[in-house]
């Protein structure tokens, strides 16, 4: 059997944690910061853990973690 291929877009955007959760960067931080509130920018720092429904989709794209 040949190996399954990992989606290149997924491996650049997501990481799998040690416990199997999917870590992703915060949405809405690419451009247009001037119109966002300071509270929103504060809360969007760093990364976030995806919900179970979204993580299930991403894990299909990354068969080997």
Within-domain flag for 1: no
Within-domain flag for 3: no
The answer to whether 12 and 58 are in contact (CB under 8 A) is: no
The 10s digit of each residue's pLDDT in 8-58 is 999 999 999 999 999 999 999 999 999 999 999 999 999 999 999 999 999
Using the Cα atoms of residue 25, residue 27, residue 31 and residue 37 in order, give the sign of their dihedral: negative
| Number of independent structural domains in the chain | 1
Adjacency order of strands within the sheet including 47-49: 14-16, 22-25, 47-49
> In the prediction, which pLDDT does 20 show?
95
Structural domain that includes position 17: 8-28+36-61
> In the prediction, which pLDDT does 65 show?
80
- What pTM was estimated for this model as a whole? 0.82
Within-domain flag for 2: no
> In the prediction, which pLDDT does 23 show?
98
């Amino acid at each position: 059997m040949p190996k399954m291929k990992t989606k290149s877009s997924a491996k650049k955007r997501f990481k799998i944690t040690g416990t199997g959760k999917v870590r992703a960067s915060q949405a809405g931080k690419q451009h247009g910061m001037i119109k966002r509130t300071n509270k929103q920018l504060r809360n969007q720092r760093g990364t976030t853990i995806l919900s179970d429904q979204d993580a299930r989709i991403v894990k299909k794209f990354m068969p080997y973690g």
